[in-house]
Amino acid sequence: MEKAAAVLENDDLKLRLGLPGTDEPEQQSSSSQVKNNKRSCAEMEIGSCQTGQEQESGAPATKAQVVGWPPVRSYRKNVLQQKRPESETGSGMFVKVSMDGAPYLRKIDLKFYKNYFDLLKALENMFKCTIGVYSEREGYNGSEYAPTYEDKDGDWMLVGDVPWEMFITSCKRLRIMKGSEARGLGCL
Amino acid sequence: MCLFQSIMNYFPEEVLEHVFDFLTSHRDRNAVSLVCKSWYSVERCSREKVFIGNCYAVNPERLIARFPRVRSLTLKGKPHFADFNLVPHDWGGYVYPWIEAMAKNGINLEELRLKRMVVSDESLELLAKSFPNFKSLVLVSCEGFTTDGLAAIASNCRYLRELDLQENEVDDRKGQWLSCFPDSCTSLVSLNFTCLKGEVNVAALERLVARCRNLKSLRLNHAVPLDVLQKILAQAPQLTDLGTGSFISDPDSETCAKLKNIMKKSKSIRTLSGFLDVNPRCLPAVYPVCTNLTSLNLSYAPGIYSTELTKLICHCEKLERLWILDTIGDKGLGVVASTCKELQELRVFPSDFYGVGNAAVTEEGLVAISAGCPKLNSILYFCQQMTNAALITVAKNCPNFIRFRLCTLDATVPDAVTNLPLDEGFGAIVQSCKGLKRLSISGLLTDQVFLYIGMYAEQLEMLSIAFAGDSDKGMLYVLNGCKKLKKLEIRDCPFGNAALLADVGKYETMRSLWMSSCEVTFGACKTLAEKMPRLNVEVFNEGEQIDGSPDGRHRVEKMYLYRTLVGPRSDAPDFVWTL
């Protein structure tokens, strides 16, 4: 358990600017860490479990997970665990990324990134543009481009508003909008 | 009354028996058997369907002695909280002794329905070989068997009508169990193997469906692809209940087009489920069937996003029962509320178990449903947050709830607007819903909510409590007030010995009491067990090295007590102490 946690910490420190799929070994070790967490949780009768993965990714500090809460049958948990909503390709969390003015779209694996910083840096690199820094009040005002995404409900949202974990599970596709068009989005 | 009695005594027993034939509910038959000795005798010899809510309350010998003509047996094993990993593995609930005893005594068993029991392949083999008229096997949340056991059933039960496997943990040996149905088997009416993880022989499946002309209910597992589904449906236009297997295809393909055509012809389908693997763009194929649907279960379909969900539901105006994931969102529930005016039962399950803040559904969705669906009487609702105001509105809109289960993802979250406990909200529910039989509460709750429950929930039979209350008073309100209480399950509440021991006689009027992570001590449990010989008081000691007699003041981590006619069970594992 300690060894797996140490691997995760190291991953945190590395900036991932490469294309998705280049760091296979790390991805595999983190998914096996998830498995380790689950196994030990089943054995523990009392206490927290499954906090490791989510907290490391910078999501809001989750409360200690309690055995048997929320009260969902293990059968249901097991079935749904294996079928987390993913894109149609069925592996990884690949979403299309379009940029206004670019001749063709790209695809990235959201699971590959740990937080918004990594994602935005990667997008800037991929499309050779400046996205700038997010602020709650101004959005990405002042920068050339603003990153937006289509969520589960079909609405177009500004990237950065919601916690990272919530974002990756609800993001269906990304669109990097020209700053001029995005003016409305930043000032809600 | 005396005149009546003497008139009734003139009737030969056959007449009494004929009259009792009209009584189907086991509660009615139980009541009838209490009237007098002759009624007891006639009733017991004629009863064919027996329901045993706790397999350890009686034993196989007593069952057979009292009901020699039993043909259909329903047994429930582990306590409800076993569903949530609170009951240790190996606790018990074995069906084998029951099957063995019935086989030995020449019982003409035709139906066996089990819930939360341990079923071995051995038991299935014995079952298959001992009862020539066996027709129906329904296993819900059971474990302990493999597909080899299913093969035995398929091979040997010549008149099998129903094989219904719901949410069981089955070891899939990847054998050919489905191929074991002989060519002579044409009697199947219901086949559900959704919970099996492995491949099935699809050719054998297609042939089986083709020859079982009475097949009404068919629920496939995810290994059955879409093109096979289409072929099967073409052979079985009489189906009323369909569970799809894998629902993935290119939506522009011929398969999908054929499927849509077949769906148009499947006019009898009233119940739809499945979609574990789904390409949402193939969903329009099922729209033709939606207009007649009364029951829809999409709670295992996380691949369908909110917009596609609502598009589908828009077609389902006759829906009476809906099970979905919270991915539908409050907006989606609004669509349900405006479309499904016949809705009686709604279950909204969580899609994200770690509560990382995926704002799924809130009190808004619940209020919308209560306002739009006047026939609503049963709800299970997992939500991000709740308010008293919302619950009060819901109580006003829907006074007909029989089952009301609310589960906040954060177990002790207060009213999202006022930050107060949710006592008043649940109080409104129990006050308004005079027929309420089952209640689960959650969120920040004080003793006050239990005062309300004790005062108003007169018909309440089952109550589930977690992380609630301030003192023993809470539990006492419930025990004193709810006269019809049958099952009480409590976890992580500050209820202790005073509450447990206040009215020991009460527990003989109930089926069972579960208390875990509360303030009850070993000594109190022992006292209770000594006072009440017709209760089994089980205390679980896992991972605790206790030599000899533990300290009476030692807090008990898990206690499960239940009334029984047959004393402590002989199959309890080491960590279970029956006091």
Bridge partners of B341, per DSSP, are none
A77 closest CB neighbour out of B353, B440, B517: B353
Q: How far apart are CA B469 and CA B545, in angstroms?
A: 31
Task: Determine the distance in angstroms separating the CA of B354 from the nearest CA of chain A, rounded to an integer.
Answer: 7
Say how far residue B252 (Cα) sits from the centre of its chain. 39
pLDDT over 90 (residue A61): no
- Please list every residue in chain B whose beta carbon sits closer than 8 Å to the beta carbon of residue A63: 355, 410
Structure tokens that stand for B4 in this block: 């009546």
Asked whether the beta carbons of residue B307 and residue A154 sit closer than 8 angstroms, the reply is yes
Question: Does residue B463 contact residue B488 with C-beta atoms inside 8 Å?
Answer: yes
What is the structure's pLDDT at A54? 37
Asked whether the beta carbons of residue B195 and residue A59 sit closer than 8 angstroms, the reply is no
Q: Output the average pLDDT for chain B.
A: 93
Q: What is the pLDDT of residues B346-402, one digit of tens each?
A: 999 998 766 555 558 999 999 999 999 999 999 999 999 999 999 999 999 999 999
pLDDT over 80 (residue A31): no
Question: DSSP class of residue A19?
Answer: P
Task: Determine the distance in angstroms separating the CA of B428 from the nearest CA of chain A, rounded to an integer.
Answer: 24
Task: Determine the distance in angstroms separating the CA of A30 from the nearest CA of chain B, rounded to an integer.
Answer: 17
Question: Does residue B304 contact residue B275 with C-beta atoms inside 8 Å?
Answer: yes
Q: How far apart are CA B76 and CA B113, in angstroms?
A: 8
pLDDT over 70 (residue B31): yes
Q: How far apart are CA B78 and CA B92, in angstroms?
A: 7
In whole angstroms, how large is the CA radius of gyration of chain A?
18
Asked whether the beta carbons of residue A153 and residue B307 sit closer than 8 angstroms, the reply is yes
For testing the chain A interface, which of B78, B81, B84 should be mutated: the one with the most A CBs within 10 Å? B84
pLDDT over 90 (residue A25): no
Task: Determine the distance in angstroms separating the CA of A62 from the nearest CA of chain B, rounded to an integer.
Answer: 6
Phi, psi of B86 (to 5 degrees): -95, -15
Mean per-residue pLDDT, A159-164: 84
Question: Does residue B478 contact residue B453 with C-beta atoms inside 8 Å?
Answer: yes
Q: Which residue in the block uniquely carries the two structure tokens 């910490």?
A: A9
Structure tokens that stand for B57 in this block: 């309350």
CA angle in degrees (0–180, nearest 5) for A54-B305-B406: 70
Q: What is the pLDDT of residues B324-349, one digit of tens each?
A: 999 999 999 999 999 999 999 999 99
Question: DSSP class of residue B434?
Answer: T
Question: Does residue A148 contact residue A175 with C-beta atoms inside 8 Å?
Answer: yes
Band (A162; pLDDT cuts 50, 70, 90): confident
Q: Which of A129-133, B102-106, B417-421, B480-484 is predicted with the least confidence, judged by mean pLDDT?
A: A129-133
pLDDT over 80 (residue B30): yes
- Count of alpha carbons within 13 Å of B333, Cβ hemisphere only? 27
**Sequence-separated contacts (24+) of B479-485 with Cβ below 8 Å:** B479/B454, B479/B503, B479/B506, B480/B454, B481/B453, B481/B454, B481/B455, B481/B457, B482/B453, B482/B454, B482/B457, B482/B458, B483/B458, B484/B458, B484/B459, B484/B460, B485/B460, B485/B461, B485/B509, B485/B510
CA angle in degrees (0–180, nearest 5) for B317-B322-B328: 95
- Please list every residue in chain A whose beta carbon sits closer than 8 Å to the beta carbon of residue B353: 70, 72, 77, 80-81
Phi, psi of B111 (to 5 degrees): -135, 135
Structure tokens that stand for B312 in this block: 């589908």
A vs B, Cβ pairs < 8 A, gives 114
Q: What is the pLDDT of residues A95-109, one digit of tens each?
A: 889 988 888 888 888
What DSSP letter does each residue of B46-95 carry, written as one string?
A: H--EEEESSTTTS-HHHHHHH-TT--EEEEE-S-GGGGGT-S-TT---BS
Query: Options 3.40.50.2300, 3.40.605.10, 3.10.20.90, 3.90.1170.50; which CATH number does A94-183 get?
Result: 3.10.20.90
Residue of B nearest to A73 (CA): B83
Question: Does residue B563 contact residue B57 with C-beta atoms inside 8 Å?
Answer: yes
Three-state secondary-structure class, residue B219: strand
Task: Determine the distance in angstroms separating the CA of B345 from the nearest CA of chain A, rounded to an integer.
Answer: 18
pLDDT over 80 (residue B449): yes
Amino acid at A34: V
Asked whether the beta carbons of residue B167 and residue A169 sit closer than 8 angstroms, the reply is no
- Please list every residue in chain A whose beta carbon sits closer than 8 Å to the beta carbon of residue B169: 74-75
For testing the chain A interface, which of B358, B361, B462 should be mutated: the one with the most A CBs within 10 Å? B358
Residues 6+ apart with CB under 8 A from B117: B55, B75, B76, B77, B78, B93, B94, B95, B139, B142
Give the pairing type, strands B345-349 and B136-140: unpaired
Structure tokens that stand for B536 in this block: 């089994």
On whether any CB of chain A is under 8 Å from the CB of B331, the answer is yes
Q: How far apart are CA B83 and CA B100, in angstroms?
A: 27
Q: Note which residues in 238-277 of chain B have CB less than 8 A from chain A.
A: 276-277
Asked whether the beta carbons of residue A165 and residue B517 sit closer than 8 angstroms, the reply is no
Question: Does residue B345 contact residue B377 with C-beta atoms inside 8 Å?
Answer: yes
Band (B11; pLDDT cuts 50, 70, 90): confident
Three-state secondary-structure class, residue B394: helix
Q: Note which residues in 82-111 of chain B have CB less than 8 A from chain A.
A: 83-86
Question: Does residue A109 contact residue A122 with C-beta atoms inside 8 Å?
Answer: no
- Please list every residue in chain A whose beta carbon sits closer than 8 Å to the beta carbon of residue B352: 169
Q: How far apart are CA B500 and CA B560, in angstroms?
A: 12
- Please list every residue in chain B whose beta carbon sits closer than 8 Å to the beta carbon of residue A74: 83-85, 169
Q: What is the pLDDT of residues B495-550, one digit of tens each?
A: 999 999 999 999 999 999 999 999 999 999 999 999 999 999 999 977 655 555 67
- Please list every residue in chain A whose beta carbon sits closer than 8 Å to the beta carbon of residue B305: 85, 152-153, 172
Task: Determine the distance in angstroms separating the CA of B307 from the nearest CA of chain A, rounded to an integer.
Answer: 6
Torsional sign, CA A147, A149, A155, A158 = negative
Tell me how crowded residue B228 is: count the other CB atoms within 10 A of its CB: 20
Amino acid at A167: F
Asked whether the beta carbons of residue A79 and residue B300 sit closer than 8 angstroms, the reply is yes
On whether any CB of chain A is under 8 Å from the CB of B432, the answer is no
> What are the residue ranges spanned by the domains of chain A?
94-183
- Please list every residue in chain B whose beta carbon sits closer than 8 Å to the beta carbon of residue A54: 354, 356
Q: Which of A82-96, B307-321, B496-510 is predicted with the least confidence, judged by mean pLDDT?
A: A82-96
pLDDT over 60 (residue B40): yes
Single pTM value for the model: 0.79
B141 closest CB neighbour out of A71, A75, A84: A75
pLDDT over 90 (residue A117): no
B409 closest CB neighbour out of A70, A76, A86: A70
Asked whether the beta carbons of residue B302 and residue A62 sit closer than 8 angstroms, the reply is no
Asked whether the beta carbons of residue A169 and residue B352 sit closer than 8 angstroms, the reply is yes
On whether any CB of chain A is under 8 Å from the CB of B327, the answer is yes
What DSSP letter does each residue of B234-290 carry, written as one string?
A: HH-TT-SEEE-S-B---TTSHHHHHHHHHHHH-TT--EEE--SSB-GGGGGGGHHHH
Spell out the CATH class of B1-47.
mainly alpha
Band (B249; pLDDT cuts 50, 70, 90): confident
Q: How far apart are CA B423 and CA B550, in angstroms?
A: 38
Residue of A nearest to B250 (CA): A88
Asked whether the beta carbons of residue A71 and residue B168 sit closer than 8 angstroms, the reply is no
What is the structure's pLDDT at B532? 95
What is the structure's pLDDT at B302? 85
Task: Determine the distance in angstroms separating the CA of A85 from the nearest CA of chain B, rounded to an integer.
Answer: 5
Three-state secondary-structure class, residue B439: strand
Q: Note which residues in 535-564 of chain B have CB less than 8 A from chain A.
A: 542-543, 557
What DSSP letter does each residue of B495-541 carry, written as one string?
A: -BHHHHHTTGGGGGGSSEEEEESSB-BHHHHHHHHHH-TTEEEEEE-
Residue of B nearest to A70 (CA): B409
